[in-house]
Amino acid sequence: MTISLVGLIVIQLFWVSTAINLRETQFLKEVNQALQRVVEKLEKEEAMKKLQSHQAGRFLFFENDSVRGSWENLADTSFQYFVMKDVQKSGDKIDIKITEEQNGKRFSKTITKNLSKGDTITSQELYEPGLRFVPDTSGEGKAVEMKMRSRLANKTAFVGDIVKSLIQVNLFEKMDDRINKEMIDSLLNEEFLNVGITTGYDFGVFDFKEKLIFSRQRNKDENLVNSNLQIRLFPNDIIDDAHFLRVSFPRQKSYLLKTLWTMLLISALLIAIIIFVFSYTVIAIIRQKKIAEIKNDFINNMTHELKTPISTISLACEALKDEEMNRNKNLLKRYINMIEDENKRLGNMVQNVLQSAVWDKGEFELKKESLNINALIKSVAEKTEIYVKEKQGRIILDLNNDHSMVIADKIHITNVLFNLLDNAIKYTPENPQISISTMFNPPSRINAKGEIIIKIKDNGIGLRKEDQKRVFEKLYRVPTGNIHNVKGFGLGLNYVKTIVEKHNGTVGVESEFGKGSCFYVKIPVS
């Protein structure tokens, strides 16, 4: 059962740990996707600003000229000229494809450069992609060609400026001029909400030397510096040094646990139920085992106790059958009294066993009356003194006469005193010195009228600490091996405890093994 329990708990904890790791992985993936979209939006925003800055010169794309000559048909019409660019970057290699279109005719040119080898792009390559006109040897045709080339050079110069602004980087422009904190904060907040991340965050922009350019917070945050959640800004920059956008989540762990709280709560509840059921089962098994041991001890002890009076009665009956025994009246009377005493003893044993269930359930009623506890103690002491003297001992009384009246059941309290004195006599092998004392305990918060404390102290064998805790349990007897010199079923002290508690009192014991015991009973005064 223990191995199964540990296995179930380990599997449950492993499952919870796996679920937390999966949620953390998903969280990091969502953050990286959000950062990627933020960088893309920043690049698009910058590209749109550069294009808008050249809108003032777009009239160069649509210009009407009238040129007379052999190209009159071409010159008299509205002239439109288009330039398209396509830039492909792979590592340090750049491919720029420039396409020109005029009057339905398209001409293309591709420029390939490798930055790692120090290649540069010249204006000649960029502005003159290779447009060709139909040759004309006449003077008028050459004039038209010259004017067209001049006009196209101006237009291609403008187009080249746009291309250069898109593929080249201004080395003197600072990163905090290209982007600002409010823009990044707005984009991050928007993208995090889109993926369902609602916890607080911090961000900062760092250069390739790990120097902080700016951050959301004024103070430098160690969590932000040590965070692995980062992405490069403007990854398509060709020459500029790398800059990184880095984010951190101060309450990341608590946020992840919060998103899994339902699953964690169910897992914790299941583990608690498993542990509770296991503990309850083990405790029940141990308790049943102890009860079985006590029951076996009780049966063995009861068999031994009943065997003695039965044997005595049997021997007395055999003796009475002898005719000579019948002639001796004194001897006959002695055997008859012996049979009568042993029969009463058997009856008391059976009665105690039958009433033990009634005591345990509390299904009996007390007939309370006003009692003088000192007088009751003296009466009980006189009746048991004969047994004490047989062992050459004595009973010492130390009674408080100022407060001695209680409201109690006379029969049951008498039985309590008899049981305590009987135990003191039985567990003191030689020369018993038994003292009975009473004292008054003044009123307190617990007992508004005060209480009388009865102490019965002996010089017997005493009790071990483990026995003191269980001595009032039902059927419990102090282990003595196979020695049966002490009679009883283990019901006496349990009866004492039941009766005293029924009177709203308390009972206890103070003992030292080998030096004797002191039982005390506290009963509220009238």
* CA-to-CA separations, 357 to 290, 308, 352, 475, in angstroms, rounded: 18, 25, 9, 11
- Ranges of H-type helices in 321-399: 323-327, 329-361, 373-390
For residue 386, what pLDDT is reported?
80
Architecture of domain 365-524 in CATH?
A: 2-Layer Sandwich (3.30)
State whether residue 240 is helix, strand or coil: coil
Q: Is the pTM of this model over 0.85?
A: no
**How far, in Å, CA of 167 to CA of 163, rounded?**
6
For 269, the token pair is: 């509840």
Name the more confident of 481 and 330: 330
- Ranges of H-type helices in 77-132: 123-127
**Nearest C-alpha neighbor of 404 from the set 449, 374, 369:** 374
CATH class of the domain at 292-358 = mainly alpha
Percent of the chain with pLDDT over 90: 12
- pLDDT over 90 at 341, yes or no: no
Task: Fill in the amino acid letter for 208.
Answer: F
Architecture of domain 2-49+174-257 in CATH?
A: 2-Layer Sandwich (3.30)
**How many C-beta neighbours within 10 Å does residue 369 have?**
11
Main-chain phi, psi angles of 449, to 5 degrees: -105, 0
Mean of pLDDT values over 503-515: 89
For residue 136, what pLDDT is reported?
45
**Nearest C-alpha neighbor of 91 from the set 106, 109, 67, 113:** 113
For residue 80, what pLDDT is reported?
44
- pLDDT over 90 at 456, yes or no: yes
Span of 41-55, 316-330, 363-377 with lowest mean pLDDT: 41-55
Listed by start position, the domains of the chain span: 2-49+174-257, 54-167, 292-358, 365-524
Which strands sit side by side in the sheet containing 93-102, from one edge to the other? 62-63, 79-90, 93-102, 105-114
> What band does 82 get if pLDDT is binned at 50, 70 and 90?
very low
Produce one character per residue of 163-192: b if its CB has 16 or more CB atoms within 10 Å, e if not.
Answer: bebebeeeeeeebeebbeeeebeebbeebb
- Write down the mean pLDDT value for the chain: 76
**How many C-beta neighbours within 10 Å does residue 106 have?**
10
62-63 vs 79-90, strand pairing mode: antiparallel
Per-residue pLDDT tens over the stretch 1-27:
888 888 888 888 888 888 888 988 999
For 430, the token pair is: 């030689």
**How many C-beta neighbours within 10 Å does residue 476 have?**
19
For residue 36, what pLDDT is reported?
92
Span of 71-80, 210-219, 356-365 with lowest mean pLDDT: 71-80
For residue 517, what pLDDT is reported?
92
**How far, in Å, CA of 485 to CA of 345, rounded?**
17
392 Rama sector, left if φ>0, alpha if ψ -120 to 50, beta otherwise? left
For residue 489, what pLDDT is reported?
58
Which residues contact residue 83 at a Cβ distance below 8 angstroms, ignoring those fewer than 6 apart? Answer: 98, 99, 100, 155, 156, 159
- pLDDT over 70 at 57, yes or no: no
- pLDDT over 90 at 521, yes or no: yes
**Nearest C-alpha neighbor of 526 from the set 455, 436, 443:** 443
Name the more confident of 324 and 163: 324
Contact indicator for 421, 381 with CB cutoff of 8 Å: yes
Per-residue pLDDT tens over the stretch 273-323:
888 988 999 899 998 988 887 777 777 767 766 777 787 888 888 877 777
- pLDDT over 50 at 79, yes or no: no
Quote the DSSP letter at residue 116.
Answer: G
For residue 351, what pLDDT is reported?
67
79-90 vs 93-102, strand pairing mode: antiparallel
**How far, in Å, CA of 477 to CA of 480, rounded?**
9
Name the more confident of 519 and 338: 519
State whether residue 484 is helix, strand or coil: coil
Q: Across 77-81, 210-214, 350-354, which has the greatest mean pLDDT?
A: 210-214
Percent of the chain with pLDDT over 70: 70
Per-residue pLDDT tens over the stretch 104-145:
667 777 878 776 666 666 545 655 544 443 444 555 555 545
Longest dimension (CA), the chain: 182
For residue 1, what pLDDT is reported?
80
- pLDDT over 90 at 29, yes or no: yes
Rg (CA), the chain: 54
Give the DSSP H/E element, type plus range, for residue 446: none
Task: Fill in the amino acid letter for 368.
Answer: K
**How many C-beta neighbours within 10 Å does residue 313 have?**
19
Mean of pLDDT values over 398-420: 86
**How many C-beta neighbours within 10 Å does residue 419 have?**
20
